[in-house]
Amino acid sequence: MAEISEAPSTLDPDFDQENMRKSKPGLKRLTLSLAVLFSFLLGLPFLLKSIEIYRSPLPFREIDDLSTAFESSPILFPCHFRAVFVNFDPNSYTADQLSISVQAHMAKFAAKNSLACGTCASNVTVSVTLDSNSNCISNGNNVDWKCGALNEFKFAEKHEDGLLDEYLASLCDNNSGAKVYTVVVVKTEQEEVRAVVGKYRHAWIMGRIFEEEAIEKIAEIFVNVFVNGGKEEGLIHGEFMPLGADGRIVLSFNLLNADPHNWIYDWDFQEIDENLLSPVIDALKPLADVSVESQVLYHTPKSSFSFWDDRLDSYIFSTKDLPFFVNSNEWHLDTSVAAGGLSKILQFVVYVPSAKECPLQLQLPNGEISTTNGFISPMWGGIVVWNPSACLMDSKIKHPLRYKISSEDSRKLFEVFMGQLRQLFGLKSDGLFVGASGTSILLASERGFSEWELDVLSRQHSCFNLLQCGTTLGSLSRLVQSLPRMIIMDDIGKQVKYSLEAARLTLSNASLGIYDASAESSRQARLLAEDAFYHPSMMSVSYYSFEHCFAVYSPFFLPVLLHVLLAVLREWKRYKQESKKYYAWKAKVK
Amino acid sequence: MGIWGSIFLLFLILISTYESFAKEGSAEELNEEFTEGLLLRPLPDRKVLAHFHFQSSVPPTRTYGRHHHLFPKSIYQLINKFRVREMELSFTQGRWNYERWGGYDPISSSNAKPPGVELWAIFDVPLDQVDASWKNLTHALSGLFCASINFLEHSTSYSAPQWSFRSFAGKLRYGTLPREAVCTENLTPWLKLLPCRDKAGISALMDRPSIYRGYYHSQRLHFTSDEYDTAKSNSGIMLEQTLTVVLQPNTLGARAMVSGKTLQPSWSLSSLFGRKVHGKCSVSKSSNVYVQFEQNLLSELKEVWKESEESERGILTHNNLWTNPIFEMSASPHRIVKEVGNSQQEDSSILYEFSVEDFNDSEPFDLGLKWKLPVAWSCQQAPLRASRFLMGSGNERGAIAISLKSSGNNNTQRVGCSENGSQLRIDIFQVVPWYVKVYYHTLKVFIDGELQSTMENIEKMHISSSEDKVSPGVMEMILRLPCGVKTAALTLEFDKGFLHIDEYPPDANQGFDIPSAVVSFTDFQASIGFEDNFLNKLPILNELQERKHVICYTEVLLVPLTTPDFSMPYNVITITCTVFALYFGSLLNALRRRVGEEERLLKSKAAKKRGPLTSILSKLFAKLTGRPIKPPETPSASPSSINYKVIVKVILVAGMAVGWQYYFR
């Protein structure tokens, strides 16, 4: 018994009642208090387990690796080029020499515009074929240029670019597997040197041209046209390509009648859709899933002012007014059930001005009148002001007349829209490429986009998709790590996993040079990443927060733990004190 | 052979020309159309009913294509995405006063709607996809109309009526939100669907403060589509938008009195709406304004006319009905349309048609109606007046009662019973949320105050009882009442359920709404037939002419449910934990207590030293009493005295309690 001993029956003079005891102090109460304390400590993990929230494990390290990898080095694709020299002297240069000097020039051009996303890696292959009447020399392994084939083509018809384009396409189309960009240089007796970029993956240069000049031109066409898409500074950056995360675009065409009291214009959009738009949609199919819708709206005035200019005999709005042109209060363009989720809408607006502002012209900063009378707003769409022919008549009609935009006019309008769409995608719309070594003509495809342009777009698209995917996953992982009480469902974990897998697949596809597949898988990666980030359960931070938990459990645990701890402390102190007494007595007895 | 050949050729030519003619003829019809109209009607209680009607129609996609010039794109996409065959959405504020504003005309049957939002839709999808389509549709509409229609997504808030509401069993879904507040944010997207919005035409009258100041406001959107019908004769999509408002004309100063009776207030478009019509919407096919005089008003007018004819001279024919001694209209009507086919009464309602086409900004159209003689009339009533109320008190149980009262005029006996033997058929459709647990076996039917055996009067009944947190209870019923019935009542008892703490809305103390019940009199058709056949092309007249059952909606009921103290769970946790902690602490202390030792310590302490204060006190006490100082002893009072004290205390407390009770009763 760990008690202070009973009053001593025999008065021992040596026995100090205060400081000694004869019996060993007991352990019963100490063990009891310790047992209670330890059982509490053992129960603690179970309690913590019971108030735990579910967090699906996310591969944080892989995400970080991926996003840092994307940021440090842009995704580059391997590219194959081929230069064909026709009618050149085979003795002056060998094919290998030509190939090396073309590559050197290409490196020079590529250095000028730093390695942008979606361009070609440094491992470009340039094969050169020298095709002259007598012999045909080529370096590289997979060159299947049909030598002497061009001689069959009659160059007499000089301006038949389209015919030559088709002919070259039939020549180059033999190797359908890898995408090879070809430049054919034909030495003729003409003074003027013409450089034309075709609708497919080839270009040709004709005229009296020497090797050095030709090499520089070839290198420029390779780098600046075929790889970079003929872009200039100031055009829309590839990052802002108007493509939804799910690869869908809705092209919404709107005909706005500013004031139907004056006149009402209508269009036959069915015809435009069938005849003019469907080839473009087909052409864009590998890149995006395009859907088209249209509407006609009435009573939609613009919200900027225009003024009358006597010299130009029309109402003028200048480029300064463009930010205020779109009247978002009155132009209700944007309700579309088709554009649900992450897809992108591009609005194309035909604005028919009212009688009191007709004809309405756009004045460029240099004082000239815009020929297209339209403008684009990046990521939003394009606007064309179409002045009706009736506006000059200035007749006071009581009842508005209904007109139909003639098919000629609608074709013109559509051409402007096509140019605007190309600009929105970051491509050139004027059909000319002005380089350091001269101007090249870009042949316009009747499908709106030529094949090499689509290649450029799909390369850029997959690259920026991957970048976007990396940043999205990076912010997801940062968010998740910064909020420890956030519930993460299994769905999110799965989406992140699949997104990472798709990103890896894209990288492997890109290194193999399969553009379409890499665009597809990059889109998948980005879509999954964004789905994970915007998952409805994402921000469901547990309502049962730590403060809440503390408030619920503290009324029980605070007083109880106080009791237990105090009991343990007291018993421990007492045990030490009593055992000291006992040892003092023992020492005395001895 | 040659003759036969030429005949055959002729035949071919004939056929081809015929076909081309047919094509031209059909091409004429195949076009989008938009029409607008406004119907104004003076109401007996000095108010004016204004009913805006807009209709857009589009030929089927198969022949016309999917690009439209007038039809709203968003509605077309909605129909195509969710494959909706028919849908009606209404936003209503205020309650239609069936007694004063009529219950037997086409406008009250199709445009008197329950307060808040009502949505029903029929889908053209397989049966198992209907619910999914409904959910998506509610979300789309919610975004389109800036309303919380998405709350109709939960299976507790919508139902699938079998036969009483419409006859598309299985593919019809019906839901209401009685507490939805309706305001301009719902009207603006609704106006966006009109080609001219409120910029031109009749819709320019919709001045927001004026139309929301009214007593009743109901905006409705209804469309039918047969895009997915396999039948060949498709008519395309028909979108009908109506806005029904009941306004009080501004009568400046005191009410005008003529010979002791109050004159009806005179009004004009500008005094009602604060705006005028500046011509029609340029793309609309027709835009007319109608003023309707009901048959009761007309017969009343004739009475007054006869009286005044004696005093005033002049023979008044029907032709100049718009300027007469009783009332005067500011413009001469374009045309007068009379109702036909109402053989029971000799008087039939009359419509004055005004076309706004010839008006423009310089001379806007402002129709006015000025009363010169007092007229009093009453509207045509539905055969029975339906109302619904709650019975019982307390938070535990109650009863719902639907009462049907004869509206007093005689058309019950005449119409209902001549057509259908001696019975009056009434369809009732009622949806009750799951937390109001209705016991359908307690259904009682009272006719003229007497309890009837239930099955005698119920011809058909379909009940799907509610399931907790899954589906609401639906009751559909066909009631047969004898002909000369004065009153009829249905009662149903219910228990109030308990909701989970999460399921209470933010304003839980306000109570919960039971949506309106729909009472329809299927024997009665509310329609106005018109004499001119060529007028049938005007949609607003078509709407009036369409034969529809007389329908009325009952009141929304407000059921108070037990509202918990929302801080209660935490209080319970705290108190329980405190009790547990106390118990645990005392148990632990008891376990490690050393009783013997403590006693000994106490004794030794007491023996050794007493506090200086107590010793001084005891000394003082000893001095005062003259007794020697006693060592403190254990207080051992006699047990009898303890008992006595305890008893006194108990009696005191009991007396106080009794006094308290008595005093505060």
CA distance A322 to chain B (A): 25
Residue with structure tokens 């956030």?
A: A486
From CA A84, how far away is CA A138, in angstroms rounded?
Answer: 9
Nearest CB partner across the interface for A567, out of B577, B580, B588: B588
Q: Which residue has the higher pLDDT, A421 or B304?
A: A421
Q: What is the pLDDT of residue B316?
A: 42
> Do A563 and B279 count as a contact with CB atoms less than 8 A apart?
no
Does the structure show a pLDDT above 60 at B416? no
What are the backbone dihedrals phi and psi of residue B97, each rounded to the nearest 5 degrees, phi first? -90, 95
Nearest CB partner across the interface for A555, out of B283, B573, B596: B573
Buried b (16+ CB within 10 A) or exposed e, B517-537: bbbbbebbbbbbebeeeebee
- CB contacts of B573 in chain A (<8 Å) are 552, 555
From CA B527, how far away is CA B106, in angstroms rounded?
Answer: 5
Query: Euclidean distance between the first and final Cα of chain A, in Å?
Result: 23
Banded pLDDT at A153 (limits 50, 70, 90)? low
Residue A279 tokens read as 């080839």
Handedness of CA B18, B19, B21, B25 (dihedral sign): positive
CA count, 13 A, side-chain hemisphere, A59:
14
Q: What is the pLDDT of residue A10?
A: 52
Assess A552–B contact: CB distance below 8 Å, yes or no: yes
Query: Which chain A residue shows the shortest CA-CA distance from B584?
Result: A560
Residue B550's H or E segment, with its range, is: strand B548-553
Q: Is B67 exposed, middle or buried (0-12, 13-18, 19+ CB in 10 A)?
A: buried
Radius of gyration (C-alpha) of chain A in whole angstroms: 39
From CA A452, how far away is CA A202, in angstroms rounded?
Answer: 8
From CA A353, how far away is CA A317, in angstroms rounded?
Answer: 12
Mean pLDDT of B130-159: 92
- CB contacts of B597 in chain A (<8 Å) are 3-4
> Do A32 and B591 count as a contact with CB atoms less than 8 A apart?
yes
Does the structure show a pLDDT above 60 at B431? yes
Q: Which residue has the higher pLDDT, A341 or A301?
A: A301
Partners of residue B49 on adjacent β-strands: B41, B246
Q: What is the pLDDT of residue B245?
A: 95
- Which residue, B382, B500, B451, is CA-closest to B97? B382
Radius of gyration (C-alpha) of chain B in whole angstroms: 38
Percent of chain B residues past pLDDT 70, beyond the cut: 82
Residue B290's H or E segment, with its range, is: strand B287-293
Other C-beta atoms within 10 Å of B359: how many?
Answer: 18
3-class DSSP state for residue B572?
A: helix
Banded pLDDT at B10 (limits 50, 70, 90)? very low
Give the model confidence (pLDDT) of B609-656 as tens digits.
666 677 777 777 777 776 655 554 444 445 566 688 889 989 999 999
Give the model confidence (pLDDT) of A375-415 as tens digits.
888 888 899 999 888 776 655 555 667 888 888 888 899 98
Does the structure show a pLDDT above 80 at A63? yes
Nearest CB partner across the interface for B577, out of A335, A399, A555: A555
Banded pLDDT at B220 (limits 50, 70, 90)? very high
Q: What is the ipTM of this complex?
A: 0.79
Banded pLDDT at A434 (limits 50, 70, 90)? confident
> Do A29 and B577 count as a contact with CB atoms less than 8 A apart?
no
Residue B379 tokens read as 């509207």
Does the structure show a pLDDT above 80 at A322? yes
The whole-chain average pLDDT of chain B stands at 82
Does the structure show a pLDDT above 80 at B563? yes
Whether residue A359 is preceded by a cis peptide bond, meaning omega within 30 degrees of 0, is: yes
Does the structure show a pLDDT above 80 at A121? no
Does the structure show a pLDDT above 90 at A88? no
Q: What is the pLDDT of residue A320?
A: 86
Query: Euclidean distance between the first and final Cα of chain B, in Å?
Result: 120
Give the model confidence (pLDDT) of B642-655 as tens digits.
688 889 989 999 99
- CB contacts of A555 in chain B (<8 Å) are 573-574, 577-578, 581
Q: Which residue has the higher pLDDT, B344 or A366?
A: A366
> Do A3 and B594 count as a contact with CB atoms less than 8 A apart?
yes
From CA B188, how far away is CA B184, in angstroms rounded?
Answer: 6
Assess A535–B contact: CB distance below 8 Å, yes or no: no
Q: Of the ranges A190-199, A215-224, A292-301, A509-518, which is most confident?
A: A292-301
The whole-chain average pLDDT of chain A stands at 80
Give the model confidence (pLDDT) of A18-55 as tens digits.
778 888 888 888 898 899 999 989 998 998 888 777 88
Residue with structure tokens 């004709």?
A: A206
> Do B588 and A36 count as a contact with CB atoms less than 8 A apart?
yes
Does the structure show a pLDDT above 50 at A1? no
Assess B279–A contact: CB distance below 8 Å, yes or no: yes
What are the backbone dihedrals phi and psi of residue B410, each rounded to the nearest 5 degrees, phi first? -90, 5
Assess A26–B contact: CB distance below 8 Å, yes or no: no
CA distance B216 to chain A (A): 28
For residues B37 and B538, the answer to whether their CB atoms sit within 8 Å is yes
For residues B524 and B416, the answer to whether their CB atoms sit within 8 Å is yes
Residue type at A291 in one-letter notation: S
CA distance A444 to chain B (A): 28
Least confident of A138-152, A162-176, B4-18: B4-18
- CB contacts of B68 in chain A (<8 Å) are 294-296
Residue with structure tokens 């339906």?
A: B386
Banded pLDDT at B18 (limits 50, 70, 90)? very low
What are the C-alpha distances in Å from A269 to residues A252, A276, B280, B513, B576?
11, 10, 26, 49, 74
Banded pLDDT at B664 (limits 50, 70, 90)? confident
From CA A26, how far away is CA B594, in angstroms rounded?
Answer: 12
A341: left (phi over 0), alpha (psi -120 to 50) or beta: left
A148: left (phi over 0), alpha (psi -120 to 50) or beta: left
Buried b (16+ CB within 10 A) or exposed e, B380-395: bbbbbbbbbebeeeee
> Do B588 and A33 count as a contact with CB atoms less than 8 A apart?
yes
For residues A262 and A355, the answer to whether their CB atoms sit within 8 Å is yes
- Which residue, B307, B300, B305, is CA-closest to B320? B305
Return the axis-axis angle of helices A546-589 and B568-591, rounded to nearest 10°: 10
Q: What is the pLDDT of residue A349?
A: 92
Give the model confidence (pLDDT) of B268-297 as tens digits.
999 899 888 888 888 888 888 999 888 888
Does the structure show a pLDDT above 90 at A129? no
Buried b (16+ CB within 10 A) or exposed e, A398-427: eebeeeebeeebbeebbebbbbbbbbbbbb
From CA B110, how far away is CA B105, in angstroms rounded?
Answer: 9
Among B592, B599, B601, the strongest candidate for a mutation testing the A interface, having the largest count of A CBs within 10 A, is B592
Banded pLDDT at B28 (limits 50, 70, 90)? very low
For residues B292 and B351, the answer to whether their CB atoms sit within 8 Å is yes
Q: Taking the model in full, what pTM does it have?
A: 0.81
Judging by DSSP bridges, how do beta strands A381-385 and A401-404 pair with one another?
Answer: unpaired
Percent of chain B residues past pLDDT 90, beyond the cut: 30
Chain center to CA of B230:
35
Banded pLDDT at A569 (limits 50, 70, 90)? very high
Banded pLDDT at B21 (limits 50, 70, 90)? very low
Assess A332–B contact: CB distance below 8 Å, yes or no: yes
For residues B104 and B384, the answer to whether their CB atoms sit within 8 Å is no
Does the structure show a pLDDT above 60 at A302? yes
For residues B554 and B429, the answer to whether their CB atoms sit within 8 Å is no
Q: What angle do CA B298, B303, B307 make, to 5 degrees?
A: 140
Stretch 433-472 of chain A: residues touching chain B, C-beta under 8 Å: none
Q: What is the pLDDT of residue B173?
A: 92
Mean pLDDT of B367-386: 86
Banded pLDDT at B19 (limits 50, 70, 90)? very low
Give the model confidence (pLDDT) of B307-327 as tens digits.
766 544 443 444 455 567 788
- CB contacts of B195 in chain A (<8 Å) are 297-298
- CB contacts of A553 in chain B (<8 Å) are 577
Mean pLDDT of B515-527: 86
- CB contacts of B72 in chain A (<8 Å) are 295
Among B136, B357, B588, the strongest candidate for a mutation testing the A interface, having the largest count of A CBs within 10 A, is B588
Mean pLDDT of B5-32: 49
From CA A471, how far away is CA A64, in angstroms rounded?
Answer: 10
Banded pLDDT at B490 (limits 50, 70, 90)? very high
Mean pLDDT of B339-366: 77
From CA A285, how far away is CA A519, in angstroms rounded?
Answer: 12
Assess A573–B contact: CB distance below 8 Å, yes or no: no
- CB contacts of B73 in chain A (<8 Å) are 293-295, 335-336
From CA A333, how far away is CA B71, in angstroms rounded?
Answer: 14
Q: Which residue has the higher pLDDT, B610 or B501?
A: B501
Q: What is the pLDDT of residue B313?
A: 41
Residue with structure tokens 């003082």?
A: B620
